[in-house]
């Protein structure tokens, strides 16, 4: 059957030639962002078939391995799940939005990790009086709304329990992804086993590499960087495990670490091939350093110095009515802010932080120290003055990609 294309009015002959010739059209469409391509599917049957083709999606993903973060998903204490566009995206309304056609099965899901456009998710465990249904894991592409269920590992036994799962996906190296599962061995608090699932083979493998479990490592929050899954400890030491080489190592604490000062890390994440860490020492919580990891794991170095006092002055809601009195009797204020995302850029505008304060998200330029309100967090059925409680661990980056799962 001949395809019936919708011909726009007053279209020029050269444009019509390109639109109807697949060889000429393909290079043009490969330069278009993923979400726009999904809308272009509606132009005609030929365009639908071309954009839906697996080979086209693979080439588009390879040519656009690191798309810009255009939004993020997050869980809140007030609502289960939300999706927010960030500046420079098509949606400039600044309103709180529902996710774009997030899958309905399983009906309740939890995002575990975001990695270059794909999300590692699991269904929330349902426990009844008579039975317990184990979690179902899957990898989701929220742009295309396609997902692939992860088969249960044959190495899971009653003598092991999951410490954490992590997703590894780098389109510049491979169009296939891997899922790492780390399990604790019953009867041992210092050793564990590693299992790897490959989307290429759709099978699990049990790695022969074993090593002692470092103290206080948080395996629930893995970050993919430099070909490895990285975890951070409560003492700011980083454990990294290279998936392909089956090698591991530890990175010492940042130079600024002080065991005698009250501290907390507010951000640990990756952006454009760079791993970042933000630690805050009390009582000076509005002034801190943004640290970056050396590509060879040589250690942390200070990338930027941050001073949020001007933001607190411009947005008084950042300082709640109550304060906290330090044991040394020096009065300090509690500042309500969370680092949602660090956007590592190489252009003239420089890198930036996205900060969540009560009912607002602030964009802070790390190079020139400027800032602006990115959008207001408002939602029907909630009081506008009530803050949506969002932690940096609950924010998951959304990158538009046609990557197949």
Tens-digit pLDDT string for the chain (405 aa):
344 444 555 555 665 655 666 677 788 888 888 888 888 888 888 888 888 899 999 999 999 888 887 777 776 544 456 667 665 544 444 444 444 455 555 556 788 899 999 999 887 654 334 444 456 888 989 888 888 888 888 887 766 778 889 999 999 999 999 999 988 776 666 677 889 999 999 999 988 666 666 667 888 889 999 899 999 887 778 888 999 888 888 887 777 666 656 667 788 999 888 899 998 877 778 888 899 998 888 888 888 999 998 998 898 888 766 555 454 544 455 677 888 888 877 655 678 888 888 778 888 988 888 888 766 765 544 444 445 556 677 788 888 899 999
- Asked if residue 290 and residue 186 are part of one domain, the reply reads yes
The per-residue pLDDT for 118 is 93
- Short-list 218, 211, 167, CA closest to 193: 211
Which range of residues forms the domain containing residue 304?
61-399
- Asked if residue 373 and residue 275 are part of one domain, the reply reads yes
- Asked if residue 108 and residue 38 are part of one domain, the reply reads no
- Asked if residue 174 and residue 28 are part of one domain, the reply reads no
Q: Is residue 275 part of a domain?
A: yes
- Asked if residue 264 and residue 176 are part of one domain, the reply reads yes
Q: How many domains does the chain have?
A: 2
Q: Is residue 285 part of a domain?
A: yes
- Asked if residue 101 and residue 183 are part of one domain, the reply reads yes
Q: Is residue 10 part of a domain?
A: no
The per-residue pLDDT for 228 is 93
Q: Is residue 248 part of a domain?
A: yes
- Asked if residue 297 and residue 197 are part of one domain, the reply reads yes
- Asked if residue 37 and residue 94 are part of one domain, the reply reads no
The per-residue pLDDT for 276 is 92
For residue 405, what are the CA distances in angstroms to 65, 92, 177, 366, 395? 15, 30, 8, 35, 22
DSSP 49-107: HHHH-HHHHHHHHHH-SSPPEEEEEE--SSSS-EEEE-TTSS--S---B--SS---SSS
The per-residue pLDDT for 210 is 63
- Short-list 342, 179, 222, 174, CA closest to 272: 342
Q: What is the DSSP letter of 175?
A: S
- Asked if residue 104 and residue 162 are part of one domain, the reply reads yes
Q: Is residue 66 part of a domain?
A: yes
- Asked if residue 266 and residue 206 are part of one domain, the reply reads yes
Half-sphere exposure of 316 (CA within 13 A, CB side): 2
Q: Is residue 358 part of a domain?
A: yes
Q: pTM for this structure?
A: 0.81
At residue 310, the 3 state secondary structure works out as helix
- Asked if residue 73 and residue 23 are part of one domain, the reply reads no
Q: Is residue 3 part of a domain?
A: no
Q: Is residue 5 part of a domain?
A: no
Q: What is the CATH number of the domain that holds 320?
A: 2.120.10
- Asked if residue 71 and residue 24 are part of one domain, the reply reads no
């Amino acid at each position: 059957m001949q395809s019936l294309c919708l011909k726009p009015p007053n279209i020029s002959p050269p444009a019509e030639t390109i639109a109807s010739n697949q060889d000429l059209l393909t290079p043009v469409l490969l330069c278009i962002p993923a979400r726009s391509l999904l809308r272009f599917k509606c132009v005609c049957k030929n365009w639908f078939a071309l954009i839906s083709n697996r080979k086209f999606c693979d080439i588009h993903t390879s040519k656009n391995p690191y798309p810009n973060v255009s939004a993020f998903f997050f869980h809140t204490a007030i609502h289960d799940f939300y999706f927010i566009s960030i500046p420079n995206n098509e949606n400039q309304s600044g309103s709180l939005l529902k996710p774009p056609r997030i899958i309905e099965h399983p009906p309740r899901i939890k995002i575990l990790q975001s990695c270059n456009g794909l999300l590692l998710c699991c269904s929330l465990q349902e426990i009844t009086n008579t039975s317990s249904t184990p979690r179902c894991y899957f990898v989701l592409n929220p742009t295309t709304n396609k997902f692939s269920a992860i088969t249960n590992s044959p190495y899971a036994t009653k003598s092991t329990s999951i410490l954490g799962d992590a997703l590894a996906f780098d389109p510049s190296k491979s169009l296939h992804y891997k899922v790492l599962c780390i399990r604790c061995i019953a009867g041992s608090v210092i050793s564990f086993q590693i299992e790897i699932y490959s989307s290429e083979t759709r099978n699990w493998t049990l790695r022969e590499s074993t090593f002692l479990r470092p103290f206080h490592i948080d395996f629930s929050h893995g970050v993919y960087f430099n070909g490895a899954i990285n975890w951070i400890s409560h003492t700011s030491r980083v454990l990294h495990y290279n998936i392909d080489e089956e090698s591991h190592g530890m990175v010492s604490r940042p130079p600024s670490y002080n065991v005698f000062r009250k501290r907390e890390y507010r951000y640990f994440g990756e952006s454009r091939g760079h791993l970042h860490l933000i630690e805050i020492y009390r009582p000076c919580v509005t002034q801190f350093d943004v640290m970056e990891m050396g590509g060879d794991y040589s250690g942390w170095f200070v990338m930027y110095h941050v001073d949020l006092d001007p933001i607190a002055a411009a947005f008084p809601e950042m300082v709640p009515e109550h304060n906290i009195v330090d044991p040394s009797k020096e009065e300090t204020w509690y500042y309500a802010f969370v680092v949602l995302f660090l956007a590592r850029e190489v252009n003239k505008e420089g890198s930036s932080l996205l900060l969540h304060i009560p009912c607002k998200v602030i964009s802070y330029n790390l190079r020139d120290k400027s800032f602006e309100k990115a959008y207001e967090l408002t939602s029907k059925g909630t009081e506008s003055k009530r803050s949506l409680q969002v932690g940096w661990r609950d924010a998951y980056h959304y990158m538009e990609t046609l990557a197949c799962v």
